[in-house]
Amino acid sequence: MKIPKSWRHSYLVPFYKNKGDVSDCGNYRGIKLTSHTLKLWERILNNRLCQLVSISDNQCGFAPGRSTTDAIQAIRILMEKHRTNREDLHLVFIDLEKAFDRIPRKLVWEAMRAQQIPELYIHLVHDMYQNISTQVRSLAGLSEPFQVKVGVHQGSALSPFLLNLSLDYLTKDIQSPLPWCMLYADDIVLIDKCAIQLQATLDQWRQALENNGLHISRSKTEFLRCSFSEQYTPNISVSIDGQPLPCVNKFKYLGSVLTADINIDADVTHRINAAWLRWRTLSGILCDSRISIQLKGKIYKTAVRSAMLYGAECWAAKKIHEKKMHTNEMKMLRWSAGVTRLDKVRNEYIRVSFKVAPIVDKMVESRMRWYGHVMRREEEHPVRKALAIPEKKKGRGSPLATWWTTVSKDLERAQLEIQTTQDRKSWRIKTRRADPK
């Protein structure tokens, strides 16, 4: 069986990554526009192949029941545990240069056969990449068609599965147990208490990846050191081929900002800025007096508030963070309503008009909903593995806030018990903070 000839041609559209020099081609991501019917065919293959293979639990990307929140939360809890135990933690965030474009197709077929996928499916996927051509589409027009003989389609419905399968095939023997090694597609995090051991692990990964056609970026792969112990050792570094990696105090991982001191200030600010960016993009609608307030409220909840709350379920939020979120939300709603403080209109009236619940209530709701999800998962789940790490006897001083202590206070205020999390439907009803009707 072979696919139609029209499915073998695609258009490559470059998208700026919103960072770096706009004249540098390396700061653009090429997305392939393929036939819609081909995408349907890919979906069918993807659904069938996912039932035939078993990928490592370390992989959270494009895997059933996994999301970015799993990876972010596991790392945050791991950092909190080591802060409580006063033990240092070292993290390397590996950046693979154009992984989808570089992955050798021969490696993909090997990975599929290693999983004992029937030859029929391997032949079907192999045929999708035979004699394919593409054209670059830009403001200057269309380029001449050219053959593409390496990599998988960027933007394809099947490509994430093929990349996950190939990476798992390459690294299954060197992956550390959860949560010391986390993958989200080609975003890789290696974690260790000891910098020397982390260096050895990184060398193994570099060899496994670069000996098979992939390349680790020396400039974008970064090292984050969390110094929680009382003994500070200077001049600790991790390198690739003798070139030290940039040592940073914070790193944006899957859209969430992780800092060396586990302070969420930077992430809260980042989410607020992301929400303002969405609000400004939609300000032509949100500030239009001809549009009803109810419709504005729906747009705000869908596009703006969701951006502000991304990753909030993982926060050990304090009052100062809640106040900051509340203040910025009210600014957005007041501007959308065309109301200033001089008009002396109460916040409650504005919220009821927009049918928007307080952002702080939605933060608690998302945290409680996520807590229930974690408690219902199996023991091998990344977050459960991180929570299972034992804590040593606490030292002097008041204990620092953690995600677990924050959730415990939420449970106490709501008068809920852990056992009730097992009933998903009942838990969602009990923890919901509904918007005004």
**Partner residues linked to 96 by β-bridges:** 216
Q: Which of 96, 82, 1 is nearest to 41 (CA)?
A: 1
Q: Rounded distance, CA 257 to CA 262, Å?
A: 10
pLDDT in tens, 247-302: 999 999 999 999 999 999 999 999 999 999 999 999 999 999 999 999 999 999 99
Handedness of CA 77, 82, 83, 88 (dihedral sign): negative
The label of the residue with tokens 């419709």 reads 295
Average pLDDT over all residues of the chain: 93
The pLDDT of residue 14 is 92
pLDDT in tens, 180-208: 999 999 999 999 999 999 999 999 999 99
pLDDT exceeds 80 at position 233 = no
pLDDT exceeds 80 at position 395 = no
What number is the average pLDDT over the span 14-23? 86
**Partner residues linked to 147 by β-bridges:** 133
Q: Rounded distance, CA 135 to CA 330, Å?
A: 47
Encoded amino acid at 345, one letter: V
**Which of left, alpha, beta for 230 (phi over 0: left; psi -120 to 50: alpha)?**
alpha
pLDDT in tens, 38-79: 999 999 999 999 999 999 999 999 888 889 999 999 999 999
What number is the average pLDDT over the span 224-234? 85
The pLDDT of residue 397 is 67
pLDDT in tens, 68-97: 999 999 999 999 999 999 999 999 999 999
* Token reading at 221: 């792969």
pLDDT in tens, 324-373: 999 999 999 999 999 988 888 999 999 999 999 999 999 999 999 999 99
CA dihedral 429, 431, 436, 437 (to 10 degrees): 0
The pLDDT of residue 317 is 96
Look at the pTM and tell me if it is higher than 0.85: yes
pLDDT exceeds 80 at position 396 = no
CB 293 within 8 A of CB 347: no
| Beta strands 89-95 and 222-226, pairing class | antiparallel
The pLDDT of residue 140 is 87
Q: Rounded distance, CA 219 to CA 254, Å?
A: 18
pLDDT exceeds 90 at position 398 = no
CA distances to 336, 338, 344 from 357, in Å: 16, 19, 20
Q: Which of 58, 88, 133, 349 is nearest to 234 (CA)?
A: 88
Burial class (CB in 10 A: 0-12, 13-18, 19+), 328: buried
**SS3 of residue 119 by DSSP:** helix
What is the separation of C-alpha 166 from the centre of its chain, rounded to a whole number of angstroms?
20
DSSP per position, 330-375: HHHHHHHHT--GGGT--HHHHHHHHT---HHHHHHHHHHHHHHHHH
The pLDDT of residue 349 is 94
The pLDDT of residue 22 is 86
